[in-house]
């Protein structure tokens, strides 16, 4: 971690720091973790840097942790996209924030409105 701080001090621009790590051979996933930057942004920066002539190697794909997938119908997807844009975020981040708030605040029953206080299904 001391090296991360030294790199950030030497290269205060996070993009430049990421490119420097890439040139040194640091894989994208590790670069993202070290700099606290989303992995897809690192991939984009590495691609751009290669196009500009930086000698960043192509890294062998590493499987990341599997994330759960939630399928949404088209109308719900559009509604979430609108809400996400208003908040300056992505649908994925908004969905994560919504589910986190609902579960953390024990609001599942209140949101769904289909369970009595004792936890028994209504109807």
Residues 41 and 77 placed together within one structural domain of the fold: no
Residues 81 and 45 in one domain: no
Q: Kindly report whether the global pTM for this prediction surpasses the value 0.85.
A: no
Do 43 and 74 fall into the same domain?
no
Whether residues 46 and 76 share a domain: the answer is: no
Q: Is there a contact between 56 and 50 (Cβ–Cβ < 8 Å)?
A: yes
Q: The tokens of 41 are what?
A: 């942004």
In terms of residue numbers, what domain contains 38? 2-51
C-alpha count within 13 angstroms, C-beta hemisphere, residue 103: 6
Whether residues 45 and 92 fall in one domain: no
**pLDDT tens track for 60-113:** 776 666 777 888 889 999 999 999 999 998 888 899 899 999 999 989 888 888
- Identify whether 62 is part of a domain: no
Report which of residues 96 and 118 the model is more confident about. 96
Q: What is the mean pLDDT of residues 40-45?
A: 90
Q: Output phi, psi for 55, to 5 deg.
A: -85, 70
Average pLDDT, the chain: 81
In a domain, 58, yes or no: no
59 within domain boundaries = no
């Amino acid at each position: 971690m001391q090296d991360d701080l030294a790199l950030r001090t030497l290269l205060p621009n996070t993009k430049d720091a990421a490119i420097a790590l890439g040139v040194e051979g640091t894989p994208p996933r590790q670069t993202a973790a070290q700099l606290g930057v989303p992995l897809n942004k690192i991939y984009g920066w590495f691609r751009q840097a290669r196009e500009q002539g930086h000698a960043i190697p192509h890294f062998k794909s590493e499987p990341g942790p599997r994330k759960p997938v939630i399928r949404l119908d088209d109308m719900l997807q559009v509604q979430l996209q609108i809400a996400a844009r208003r908040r300056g975020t992505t649908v994925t981040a908004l969905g994560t924030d919504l589910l986190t708030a609902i579960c953390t605040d024990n609001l599942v029953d209140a949101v769904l409105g289909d369970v009595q206080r004792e936890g028994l299904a209504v109807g």
